[in-house]
Amino acid sequence: MIRKTDFLTRTYDKPEGWTLPVYERLGGYQAVKKALGMTRDEVVNEAKKANVRGRGGAGFPMGVKWSFMKPHPTKPAYLAINADEGEPGTHKDRTIMEQNPHAVIEGCIIGCYGIGAHVASIYVRDELHLSKKRLWDAIKEARAKGYLGKRPFGKDYPVEVYVHTGAGAYICGEETSMLNSLEGKRGEPRLKPPFPAQAGAFGCPTTVNNLETIAIVPTVFGMGGEEFSKLSTLHGINDGGARLFGVNGHVKKPQIIELAVGVTMNELIYDIGGGVLGDKKILCAIPGGSSTPVLRPEEVVNVTDEKSPLFQWNGKSVFDVPLGVDTMRGVGTMLGTCCVTVLAEGTCPVLAMQNLMQFYHHESCGQCTPCREGSAWLDRTLQKILDGQASMADLDALGDIANNIMGNTICAFGEGTAMPALGFLRKFRKEFEQYVRGEKKGSEARLTVQ
């Protein structure tokens, strides 16, 4: 069900929409006053009620994450905002930073208060220069007004927000890797435990939230957690509110749009995205960033357990299931960042997989063995398949390699590589075999619609 909202996007495309006066005119910086009037526990409880699932890809409930923060006897707490948006096919955080930076700042103030931190650092991907500038400008405006600083809104609770230029790579979007990078270290994931809530930035308790997650916080407190959650048709399975949905790839109108949770992939592609380029059929779609396994429209939900939340969609195409954290998990993929990438019929899934694996090969930090060597081996083998130099044994090796990366690495990058690889293999084995048998040529493979 499509239900448009504009909590985050109301400033989009407005003249000077990223400035403080416009933000305030549209109702900004009201929710923070309400939040600062509550106790810390009340703030965390309100956040829990909102059922905001982390927007970074893992979908961890934001309120629950906040509740992990316990005051430390000697160490300060930090809020770290992950804006190292680099997942292929994901392009949502950037729009917020560029067009609604004050929502981020307001969210940071509430977030800091909720977790007991006085400092929030926003780690922004290096290449997003305009985003960094807009955030800095917003911070300056908020400081000048006294919204940031010693007494935000008259409350004796100092809050400062900083923008930290990413100095790394894709891997710095992994939360502990980001903390290392924030500290000036090599951007490599840390061993867990300890988790950031125990020992995060500079060894201090830290909450890491995705930028979109923190930007929606003012909305949550403006309308009340439960009210917000009820916007979603998946409110019943703790997946609440509204979020940014992206649609890209072979669609007529690729875009970012804010919708209440509950929209299906078909609605997103056809009603929002305007359908597939050249009115072709959908070959497959990646639900939310390249790490999420691909779905084909022919796939149907096959749940026999009546108690399963997916039972009501049993027998339907997976493209008609509402995009939610648990619903997508139920159909064998992940919601991820909620930016759907569409591949039209006629494009090559083998080339698509090679394209993704080339990315993971290039971006593996190289810390642990299976990912370092496995991602490169996948890429190399796929290249051989496209070049027509691979044997069936090479094709069979692909599955083995991905199986052996899966779960055996320090961070989730390993699964992020293995899951889409296994997805493509399982769903497009025939196409791979065609290349091995010489029935298709890599030079004729395309990722563009003719």
Q: Does 365 bind other proteins (CB under 8 A)?
A: yes
Q: Does 296 bind other proteins (CB under 8 A)?
A: no
- Taking CB under 8 A as the binding criterion, the range among 115-123, 233-241, 408-416, 439-447 that sits at the site for other proteins is 408-416
Our CB check for other proteins shows the closer of 123 and 359 to be 359
CB of 194 to other proteins, least distance (A): 11
Q: Does 372 bind other proteins (CB under 8 A)?
A: yes
Our CB check for other proteins shows the closer of 69 and 425 to be 425
- Figure out which of the listed residues 206, 232, 347, 367 binds other proteins, where binding follows CB under 8 A: 367
Q: Does 422 bind other proteins (CB under 8 A)?
A: yes
- Taking CB under 8 A as the binding criterion, the range among 117-125, 248-256, 298-306, 399-407 that sits at the site for other proteins is 399-407
Q: Does 328 bind other proteins (CB under 8 A)?
A: no
- Figure out which of the listed residues 37, 191, 271, 441 binds other proteins, where binding follows CB under 8 A: 191
Q: Does 145 bind other proteins (CB under 8 A)?
A: no
Our CB check for other proteins shows the closer of 314 and 404 to be 404
CA–CA gap between residue 312 and residue 329 (Å, rounded): 15
- Taking CB under 8 A as the binding criterion, the range among 78-86, 235-243, 268-276, 392-400 that sits at the site for other proteins is 392-400
Q: Does 384 bind other proteins (CB under 8 A)?
A: yes
* Binding stretches for other proteins (CB under 8 A): 169, 171, 186, 191, 332, 361-370, 372-377, 380, 384, 393-394, 396-397, 399-400, 402-404, 406-410, 415, 418, 422, 425-426, 429
